[in-house]
Structure formats: structure tokens, C-alpha cells
A and B are shown apart, each in its own frame.
Chain A
Amino acid sequence: MARLIRTEKEVEGRYTEQWIVVDEDVLEQWPAGPLETVGRPVPRADGGQRARGEARYTADIKLPGMLHAAILRSPHAKARVRRIDTGRARRAPGVRAVLGPETGPLTDEPPYEGAPVAAVAAETSEQARTAVSLIEVEWERLEPLLDPEEAVRRNELIDEPNREERGEVERGLAESDAVVEAEYRTQTVLHNSMETHQAICEWDGDDRLTVYISTQFIWGVREEVAKRFGLPEDHVRVVCRFMGGGFGSKNGPGDYTYVAAELARATGRPVKCALTRREENLDSGNRNSTIQRLRVGARSDGTLTFLDGEFVNATGWDGWLASTGGPMRLLYACENVRTVEYGAKLNTPPMAAFRAPGFVEGTFGLECLLDELAAKLEIDPLELRRRNHSTHDAVDERPFSSKQLLECYRRAEPHWERRDEVRARSDATWKRGVGLASQVWYGGGGPPSYAWVRIGGDGRAAVITGMQDIGTGSATAMAQIAAEELGLPVDRIEVALGDSARGPYATISAGSSTIPSMGPAVRAAAADAARQLIEIAAQRYDREERVLSLKNGQIVSSDGGSWPLEEITGLLESGQILGKGSRGPNPTGMRVLTFGVQVAEVAVDVETGEVVVEKIVAIHDVGRVINPLGASSQVEGGIIQGLGHTLSEERLLDPSTGGNLTQTLDAYKIPTIADVPEIVTDLVDVPDEHLTNLGSKGLGEPPIIPTAAAIANAIRDATGADVRSLPITREEMLRALREASRQPAREEVGA
């Protein structure tokens, strides 16, 4: 029966309450461990297509008669357009339409460098860009606000400060035998998706719009575009078949989509608006920088007495207050915790969600702080974390739906015990060490999400849903889930997705939610189809339903009989078996979280400041693992992105103009394959029995969370130097080494 309930929905750590209709989640959990297909490594269904260049991304789509848009962006961090003349641009070759700042989302008061001011549509993108360069603007330059601390002082905030407190920090302080206080800083980093942000808009008449877009959420784009243009949502079709990376920056339509739609309306032709790499690095979102002033106290046995943190997020002109204090509130059992988070409103480009927003930054601070505390208390860092393991969520006093962090710690032991051996390989120049850091994050997904399963006369099945595979391999995982339930080999399952007109509503692919939201819906749809198959087979073969099951493409009877599936589906000729399924509710009164620990081994050249990460072991608890092969590639991707965040990536702004100096990939340094260490993935594959019929949580974000702190802690282990600021470039490493050599030996610092 359909049930109307009020449930909590969480995306990227932000909770909302909403009404939903859910079908009861009637399926029983599958047994733990590898099954026929689920839990076994399956190569990505579209891997070959992608590798051969046959996958058609939004960037590859060329519609007949399609025009190309280019955007004039503000060269100043804060300015006003005194006068604008688009006459020469309008007359330039190939130009079909020009939009001035009076058309939203364009503006004549750009509040950050890269804000869109005017736009052109032309026959080729070169012509469009040339025309943009012919737009004459007289600027009035205004003084930008660039310093986040100054913004907090002036109360220029993106939102109310977020203050949370449990217990009493002052009481905790009084009970402390040791206190550590430190300031940590993280930098602004850019997503740098391989496929830049882009959309093609095509009108059909004046009230129907198709949007081809590189996005993480076709339904979100549909809703926002429909609202903006006053259309019924079903008049907007959103398509994203293959997607070249988003990492949180492609959750909504973005200015470029509206520009394409406006220009398409003005010209009556389809218009593509694709950001260049430089535009991408200016105005497609970022992980904002942070300043974190943290304090921790503990008794001599290591029991935490209090945690206290002040977090300044340099949010930029727009965005939201990422939960930088989240790890401090959630990771450890501690009675007295106080956090305050500020979001500074600056004349810098808006932040956007970026793979575990807030938690990546906050975990760097918290987990370095814990290691500094461990050193002061002379307690083993792994042991310190164990002693403060939390058995329930202390924020809302709720039980966890499942938590295997202690098992993660247990599996970390052999890697952690290599410490002496690794250190012993040091010499006069290269110092080696081992560090670890824990991780907590959301990733439980939630309703609504729907799937259909269709079985044809040939005994093959299609999963049909309006979800998108953003490159994570989630389509392959869906095929595995359907294959398991239908007793079919995985290559007899087709997954059709990425089109809002050809499937039911599905989750956003953000917040590690695709598998935990969609997986149970696909399983339910497949189970619905399987039930019908059994019912039909029971009639056809004159058996009781309860003796029949589906296995290896056969209908199998417990009395020994078996019939190929296509024998019964073939009877129906063009007839089809249709199953439908939806995501059930989240468990009430429980906190659903993911956990993990990473152990890093590093080598530091103490003369030149070079840091080489030699190995990272990633042990995570994300419930049931659907595809270990796809999962380990998610872990590797997260760690490599984390490595860039730790060592080499930083968006740099000129301190006086606020201009972005790292717009190109020679200046903005993401890791190369030569920088990638040995990565060992170990997933604690225990289903969350409370969450859904699948027991899976998401894995997109957890692996990037502890990497920076694990590396920084390994550096401290190797050299004794405290690196408290990211990225750990050569100058930062040399500075920390110099500081360490100036300080008295650690033992003498005393409590």
C-alpha cells in the first residue's frame, strides 16, 4: 500500500523535512557477502565505449542548425557597467543574437571576477568569442572585499553564523589534563571536471524546451528551468546520457543554461553554451578556503573532555555555509562540543558543493588536532581514536543505523604497525613516516527515487529510470542489482537512463546518494517483475509458486525441473513483463552515516621540501558493496583528488585585484599519474540492516575526506614538523621544518 509519510532528507549534510509517498520496503535483506552478481567485480558496462571515444557527452552533441554562445565576463572583482556598446559585436560575422546585462542572469553590477555580463550566439564558437571581444564596456571599478576575516568583522555573511553546542566547553576545559590549540587553513580548490559546464537548449515552439546538459541531476535542472521560464515541468525535457565529471559543481542548471535558453529563444535555433577551461576555473564553483581555530582537551587517559572550533569559510559571493564543523560534532564521543561556522560573503566566485563539502576541510583540521593531542599525551594515535569511539550520534542522541568503524580500525592495524619499519628506511635527506585519519560522512540517500524494469520476449531485461550516471559506474551497479533479483547474467540487462522524458524521477547524484537511493528502487522493480514471472511460470508449468525461483537465466523448480526464461517470456511474443519499484523510507529515529580510516606512508626530502606519498590504505564502511571493482575505482579517484588538495592544487587570487591567476591547467596543478601512490582499498562489506532492502550506502565522497589529514599526520611522524596549512607545497613544507627545528623538542613543551 502506498504510504504518506513525513521524512528527513539529507543531501551533502543538509537536512530537510518533506512529505513523500512510499511503498513499503517489503523485501528482505539479501545475505551479506558476495552473491551471484552483486558483490562481485563487474567491469563497467560502458567502459569500452568511453575508452574508444564513442560515448556521446554533451560536449559531443551537435544539433542541426546549432549556434554557439560565448559570454562576456567581468574582468574585475567588483565593478559597475557605466556604458556598454554591443553594436560592433552585433555586426560581427556569424553573429545571430546578442544579450546585454538587462537580461537575467546577466548583470551590469558584477560582484566577482568572471560574473556574466553579456552574451553572444554565433554560427561558430570562434565567431562568438570574437564578437564578445568586440563588446565595448566602460567599467567603474569598485573596491572588492576579499579578506574573509575582514568580512566576518564587518558582518558581511552569506547566512547567519551556525552555532552549535552540546554540554559545556568550560566544564570540559576544567577537567582536562592536556589541551591543544591550533589554527588550520585550507585553500580554495577547483573541481576541474574534464567536461566543462555546458548545455544545449532547443525550443519546440515557445512552450517546450529540451535541455542537453552535463549535470548531476536532470530532475533538478528540469524543475528549475521550468520555473524560470514559467513552463509545466513536463514541457521541459532534460537529457544527460554521459557525463564528464561534476564532483558537486553540476547539481543545478547554472547561468550558462539560462544564457543558452535565452539565446535559443531569441534566434529560434538550438544554442550550445560551453564554458572554456578558463571560464570553468573562474565561475563554475569551488571548494571554499577555510580558517579553523580549534581546541581540544583530554584527560591523561585520552578521554576527550571538550572540542571547540571556530570556522571561517570564505564562501564567496554566493553559495551556502558548508558544514566545516560537522566532523567535530559527529566523529567522536565527546560530551562538550562547541562549533561556530561563519560564511564570509566576498567579491569572489561562489562556492559550490565539492565532494564532501565542509567535511574534507573540517577533517583536515580535526584529525591533525587529534594527532597533535596524541603526541602530547604520548598515546598511540590509533588508540586515542579507539578510546573516543562513539557508539551513538551525540548530536541528536540517536543510534546509528550501522557503524563498522572499529572494524575499520582493526583492519588498519597491520598497516599502522609498519610504522617502525617505514621510519627505519629514512636517511639524512629522506624522512619517512606513517599517519592515519578517520572519516565520518553522510551517504544514506533517501526517497523519492523510482525505477521500472521491463522484460521482453527474448528473456532480456531493461532497467529504466531517470537517474544519471555521472561517471561513477552507477549504471553498472544497477544492472548487477537487477540481474541478482531476476537471476539473469548481468550482460542480459540494459540500463536506460539520463532522460527525464524516458523514465521516472530519480535521485540527484550528489551526496553519495545514487546507489543508496536508486539501488533499492531498482531491486524493488526487478523483484516486482520476478514475482510476475514466477506467477506465470507456476501456471504454465503447473507448479506451486513457492517451489520456483529464478537462476542463471532459468526458471528453476525445487523438484529438479528447469526451463529457460525465454521459453516463458517468448510465449508472450511482443508482450512484456513490467515491474516498478521505489525507494522506501529511511529508518526513523536513526542516524545514517559512513565511516572509514586511511593510513598514509610518506617520504619527505627535508632539504628541498618535496613530499612523496608512497602508499595509502583506504578502509571504509559503506554497507553492502555492489561492485568491488567500481568501488575501488571510486576510492582511487577520491584519493587522487584528495592528493591534489593536499599537495599541489590551489586557486590563487591576486591579493589586490581579486583576479584568478590559476585559470589554466599549467598554473593550477592537479596530480599527474606519476604522483599517484600505491592505493590499497579495503571495504568492510557489511550491509546496513536498517537502511534499505539493499543495505548499501554511498561511496562517492568518503574516500576524499581523510586523505589530507592522513598525509599531514604522516609528515609529522616523518619529520616532527606540523603542517597546518594546505596545500603542503615545498615552501609550506620547508617553513614547517624550519619552525620545527626552532622549537624545543616536543617532550619539553609540556602540558
Chain B
Amino acid sequence: MDILRPDSLEAARAALKNGSVALAGGTELVPLLRDRIVEADTIVEIRHAVPRGIQGTRIGAGTTLGELEVDPQIPDALREACRLAASPQLRAMGTIGGNLLQATRCWYWRLKYPCWLHGGGRCFAHEGLHREHAVFANAPCASAHPSDVAAALLALGATVRTDRRELPIAELYRLPTGDDRRMTGLEPGELILELEVPMPAASTYLKAMDRKRFAFALVGVAAARSPEGTRLALAGMAPIPWLLEDESALDEATPLPGNAYKLEIARALIRRALVAVAP
């Protein structure tokens, strides 16, 4: 396995061809490589290719969660989502770009059970253990999207700028289908460069986990109020970050036998989030 350290975006683009993979903080990628869930013959470190830092409403994809959690300028929902994610050590390394592209924490998937998302025929979580899994859009794959940050950005209505296009964050994600089981719509080698995060009138992020800190969201609720209205988005509730019309949309969920409790938590957190962002 080779590692390349291109010093410009152009050089990085050239290096990112078939068989190579982009590395930012490496907190997600390195374990996946070690477990051979991701196979690559070349690793392209993109530190010098992707902007880092916060300028007004623009956030470089290479900015770490640790930098974001202490920034007083960014919307509360994003700052809270960063602060409540992972651990201080991981936030010091992990970037926001990498966070948006992290894979599911489904234990079957991480342990390489030959499940549907790995290209197999069935979802082990459905018949097996799924307390951490999705309650929306959970067939054929019930994995839950782990990113707190993505839920916050979805509620905030952020835009993603890549080296080839701009797209609303909602379009970064797609539900997997039988013939294309990816969860993001990025092209091979496409790099996220920046996020444009509009400033809301008020926003918040609430997270329920199995312990006080350093756990993925069982339920994450982001709410942001802007002149157009209040938007709600969920982490840990669907295979991708999930936009929710309002609290009553929870009734459309299709929980599995072992995870209906998530809806009860979501209901409480949504009410609290709405109170928090109310004028």
C-alpha cells in the first residue's frame, strides 16, 4: 500500500484514481482499511488539497470537529453536534468532510457479516439484534446513519461544494438500492471542499446515547429556525441523515421489534428542540 501526499488540489485529483482512496484525519478510514472493509492500493492524503478553517458561513472540509466545537460564530446546532460527537482525541483528528462520509456502525457490517449492504442477500439486523438501528427506511438495510454533524447540517440547510459541483446536503445522501448499495452520491475521486452553512435565527442539536459522552447517537435531533420555517433532522434513525416534516411524521416510522423505544426518545427530544429554537 502506497501513501501519497499531494500538495495541491490538482495533484490530489490526479492521484485519486481507481484503487486509491482519500485520507483526511483517518479516524474512520484507517480502521476500515485495517479490517479490509475498504481495500485500496494507494492512500492519498488530502490535507493540502482541501481547505481548512472557517470563513463567515463557509467551512473548509478539512476543518476538524475540535476546531468547530469551540467556534462561537457557527450555528449552535453544528457546534453542539461536533461537541457531542466522538471523543476529544478523535475530534482533534477527525474532519467535518470525513464525518459526513463515515460508514454505518451496524455491528454486522463492521464485523463483515456477508449482509445485504456488503453485497449479500439478507440483513442480519432484521432478525438479529438491532437496538441501535434505523426506524425509517429500514428495509432492505436497517443501518442507522451515525453522523451528528450531518443531521445538524441537514436541518441548517447547508450546501456542499465539491471539486466538481455544488449540491444541497440532502442530495449528498441516497438510500441504497438493489443495484447500487452506496449511501452517498459522490462520484469516484470526488472531493468535498467546502460547506456553506447559512446562519439560522436559532438552532440546536440534542443527542440521546448509551452513556454521557463518546457514543454514537441512538437518537439525534437537530432543529433550525429560519425565516422560511423550522427544519428538523435526525441522526441514528435512518440509513442516511433524515429530514422530518414535523413530530407527527414519527408516526410513519417502521420500527423493528427491538428499537421502537427510539421513537419515544425522538418525540421528547423533538419537543425540547422546538422549544429551544422557538422565537
Question: In the complex, which residues 504-527 of chain A have their Cβ closer than 8 Å to any Cβ of chain B?
Answer: none
Question: In the complex, which residues 254-279 of chain B have their Cβ closer than 8 Å to any Cβ of chain A?
Answer: 258-259, 261, 264-265, 267-269
User: Do B208 and A730 touch (CB < 8 A)?
Assistant: yes
Compute how far the CA of A729 lies from the CA of B208 in the bound complex, rounded to whole angstroms. Answer: 11
Name the one of B107, B111, B213 contacting A672, with C-beta atoms under 8 angstroms: B213
Name the one of A647, A655, A663 contacting B211, with C-beta atoms under 8 angstroms: A647
B124: Cβ under 8 A from any A Cβ:
yes
User: Do A730 and B108 touch (CB < 8 A)?
Assistant: no
Question: In the complex, which residues 602-618 of chain A have their Cβ closer than 8 Å to any Cβ of chain B?
Answer: 605, 607-610, 612
A424: Cβ under 8 A from any B Cβ:
no
B181: Cβ under 8 A from any A Cβ:
no
User: Do B214 and A672 touch (CB < 8 A)?
Assistant: yes
Q: What residues on A are CB-neighbors of B17 within 8 Å? A: none
Residue of A nearest to B258 (CB): A731
User: Do B111 and A659 touch (CB < 8 A)?
Assistant: yes
Q: What residues on B are CB-neighbors of A607 within 8 Å? A: 264-265, 267-268
A655-B210 contact, Cβ under 8 Å, with A608-B268, A730-B265, A735-B261: no
Distance in Å from the Cβ of A657 to the closest Cβ of chain B? 8
Compute how far the CA of A271 lies from the CA of B113 in the bound complex, rounded to whole angstroms. Answer: 32
A730-B111 contact, Cβ under 8 Å, with A671-B211, A672-B213: no
A666-B216 contact, Cβ under 8 Å, with A730-B208, A731-B261: yes
A661-B261 contact, Cβ under 8 Å, with A608-B208, A654-B124, A674-B212: no
Q: What residues on A are CB-neighbors of B210 within 8 Å? A: 648, 669, 729-730
**Residues 102-141 of chain B: 1 if any A CB is under 8 Å from the residue's CB, otherwise 0?**
0001011011010000000000100111010000000000
A675: Cβ under 8 A from any B Cβ:
yes
Distance in Å from the Cβ of B205 to the closest Cβ of chain A? 15
Name the one of B129, B214, B269 contacting A654, with C-beta atoms under 8 angstroms: B129
Q: What residues on A are CB-neighbors of B215 within 8 Å? A: 666, 669
Q: What residues on A are CB-neighbors of B129 within 8 Å? A: 652, 654-655, 661
Chain A binding surface, main DSSP class: loop
Compute how far the CA of A674 lies from the CA of B108 in the bound complex, rounded to whole angstroms. Answer: 28
Compute how far the CA of A674 lies from the CA of B210 in the bound complex, rounded to whole angstroms. Answer: 12
Distance in Å from the Cβ of B99 to the closest Cβ of chain A? 15
Q: What residues on A are CB-neighbors of B113 within 8 Å? A: 659
Residue of B nearest to A643 (CB): B211
Q: What residues on B are CB-neighbors of A652 within 8 Å? A: 107, 129
B59: Cβ under 8 A from any A Cβ:
no
B85: Cβ under 8 A from any A Cβ:
no
User: Do B127 and A656 touch (CB < 8 A)?
Assistant: yes
Compute how far the CA of A675 lies from the CA of B215 in the bound complex, rounded to whole angstroms. Answer: 12
Compute how far the CA of A661 lies from the CA of B108 in the bound complex, rounded to whole angstroms. Answer: 7
B193: Cβ under 8 A from any A Cβ:
no
User: Do A731 and B131 touch (CB < 8 A)?
Assistant: yes
User: Do A663 and B105 touch (CB < 8 A)?
Assistant: no
User: Do B268 and A672 touch (CB < 8 A)?
Assistant: no
Distance in Å from the Cβ of A348 to the closest Cβ of chain B? 15
Question: In the complex, which residues 3-17 of chain B have their Cβ closer than 8 Å to any Cβ of chain A?
Answer: none
Question: In the complex, which residues 628-675 of chain A have their Cβ closer than 8 Å to any Cβ of chain B?
Answer: 647-648, 652, 654-656, 659, 661-664, 666-667, 669, 671-672, 674-675
Compute how far the CA of A664 lies from the CA of B35 in the bound complex, rounded to whole angstroms. Answer: 12
B152: Cβ under 8 A from any A Cβ:
no
Name the one of A605, A661, A666, A675 contacting B111, with C-beta atoms under 8 angstroms: A661
Compute how far the CA of A731 lies from the CA of B129 in the bound complex, rounded to whole angstroms. Answer: 14
Compute how far the CA of A674 lies from the CA of B269 in the bound complex, rounded to whole angstroms. Answer: 21
Q: What residues on A are CB-neighbors of B216 within 8 Å? A: 666
B218: Cβ under 8 A from any A Cβ:
yes
Compute how far the CA of A608 lies from the CA of B108 in the bound complex, rounded to whole angstroms. Answer: 26
B contact residues, total (Cβ < 8 Å): 28
Distance in Å from the Cβ of A142 to the closest Cβ of chain B? 19
**Residues 191-224 of chain B: 1 if any A CB is under 8 Å from the residue's CB, otherwise 0?**
0000000000000000010111111101000000
A contact residues, total (Cβ < 8 Å): 29
Name the one of B105, B108, B128 contacting A655, with C-beta atoms under 8 angstroms: B128
User: Do B131 and A674 touch (CB < 8 A)?
Assistant: no
Name the one of B107, B128, B218 contacting A667, with C-beta atoms under 8 angstroms: B107
Question: In the complex, which residues 700-746 of chain A have their Cβ closer than 8 Å to any Cβ of chain B?
Answer: 729-731, 734-735
Question: In the complex, which residues 209-245 of chain B have their Cβ closer than 8 Å to any Cβ of chain A?
Answer: 210-216, 218
Distance in Å from the Cβ of B265 to the closest Cβ of chain A? 5
Compute how far the CA of A475 lies from the CA of B214 in the bound complex, rounded to whole angstroms. Answer: 34
Compute how far the CA of A663 lies from the CA of B211 in the bound complex, rounded to whole angstroms. Answer: 18
User: Do A661 and B265 touch (CB < 8 A)?
Assistant: no
A675-B128 contact, Cβ under 8 Å, with A608-B265, A666-B105, A734-B264: no
User: Do B261 and A609 touch (CB < 8 A)?
Assistant: yes
User: Do B212 and A672 touch (CB < 8 A)?
Assistant: yes
Residue of A nearest to B215 (CB): A669
Name the one of B111, B128, B258, B267 contacting A663, with C-beta atoms under 8 angstroms: B111
Question: In the complex, which residues 579-624 of chain A have their Cβ closer than 8 Å to any Cβ of chain B?
Answer: 605, 607-610, 612
Compute how far the CA of A653 lies from the CA of B259 in the bound complex, rounded to whole angstroms. Answer: 17
Residue of B nearest to A429 (CB): B268
Distance in Å from the Cβ of B274 to the closest Cβ of chain A? 14
Distance in Å from the Cβ of A124 to the closest Cβ of chain B? 14
Compute how far the CA of A289 lies from the CA of B174 in the bound complex, rounded to whole angstroms. Answer: 40
Distance in Å from the Cβ of A278 to the closest Cβ of chain B? 9
Residue of B nearest to A647 (CB): B211
Q: Which of A609, A664, A666 has most chain B Cβ within 10 Å?
A: A666
Q: What residues on A are CB-neighbors of B127 within 8 Å? A: 655-656
Distance in Å from the Cβ of B34 to the closest Cβ of chain A? 10
Q: What residues on A are CB-neighbors of B105 within 8 Å? A: 666-667
Compute how far the CA of A672 lies from the CA of B211 in the bound complex, rounded to whole angstroms. Answer: 8
Distance in Å from the Cβ of A656 to the closest Cβ of chain B? 7
User: Do A664 and B110 touch (CB < 8 A)?
Assistant: yes
Compute how far the CA of A605 lies from the CA of B209 in the bound complex, rounded to whole angstroms. Answer: 13
User: Do B212 and A656 touch (CB < 8 A)?
Assistant: no
Compute how far the CA of A662 lies from the CA of B111 in the bound complex, rounded to whole angstroms. Answer: 9
User: Do A675 and B261 touch (CB < 8 A)?
Assistant: no
Distance in Å from the Cβ of B75 to the closest Cβ of chain A? 23
User: Do B261 and A654 touch (CB < 8 A)?
Assistant: no
Distance in Å from the Cβ of A76 to the closest Cβ of chain B? 12
Q: What residues on B are CB-neighbors of A669 within 8 Å? A: 210-211, 215
Compute how far the CA of A181 lies from the CA of B47 in the bound complex, rounded to whole angstroms. Answer: 63
Compute how far the CA of A730 lies from the CA of B131 in the bound complex, rounded to whole angstroms. Answer: 10
Residue of A nearest to B131 (CB): A731
Residue of B nearest to A669 (CB): B210
Compute how far the CA of A750 lies from the CA of B208 in the bound complex, rounded to whole angstroms. Answer: 38
A730-B212 contact, Cβ under 8 Å, with A656-B127, A666-B105: no
User: Do A610 and B107 touch (CB < 8 A)?
Assistant: no
Q: Which of A608, A647, A664 has most chain B Cβ within 10 Å?
A: A608
Compute how far the CA of A663 lies from the CA of B267 in the bound complex, rounded to whole angstroms. Answer: 31
Compute how far the CA of A659 lies from the CA of B111 in the bound complex, rounded to whole angstroms. Answer: 10
Distance in Å from the Cβ of A677 to the closest Cβ of chain B? 11
Q: What residues on A are CB-neighbors of B110 within 8 Å? A: 664, 667
Compute how far the CA of A656 lies from the CA of B113 in the bound complex, rounded to whole angstroms. Answer: 13
Residue of A nearest to B206 (CB): A608
Q: What residues on A are CB-neighbors of B208 within 8 Å? A: 608, 610, 730
Q: What residues on B are CB-neighbors of A605 within 8 Å? A: 268
Question: In the complex, which residues 167-190 of chain B have their Cβ closer than 8 Å to any Cβ of chain A?
Answer: none
Compute how far the CA of A337 lies from the CA of B212 in the bound complex, rounded to whole angstroms. Answer: 41
Q: What residues on A are CB-neighbors of B268 within 8 Å? A: 605, 607-608
Interchain residue pairs A-B with the least CB separation, the first 5 = A607-B268, A731-B261, A674-B212, A661-B107, A674-B213
Known: A654-B124, A661-B108. 13 other contacts (CB 8 A): A605-B268, A608-B269, A648-B211, A659-B111, A661-B111, A667-B105, A671-B211, A672-B212, A672-B213, A674-B214, A675-B213, A730-B261, A735-B261
Q: List 17 A-B contacts (CB under 8 A).
A: A607-B268, A609-B265, A647-B211, A654-B108, A662-B107, A667-B105, A669-B211, A671-B211, A672-B211, A672-B214, A674-B212, A675-B213, A730-B208, A730-B265, A731-B259, A734-B264, A734-B265
Chain B residues at the A interface, C-beta cutoff of 8 Å? 105, 107-108, 110-111, 113, 124, 127-129, 131, 208, 210-216, 218, 258-259, 261, 264-265, 267-269
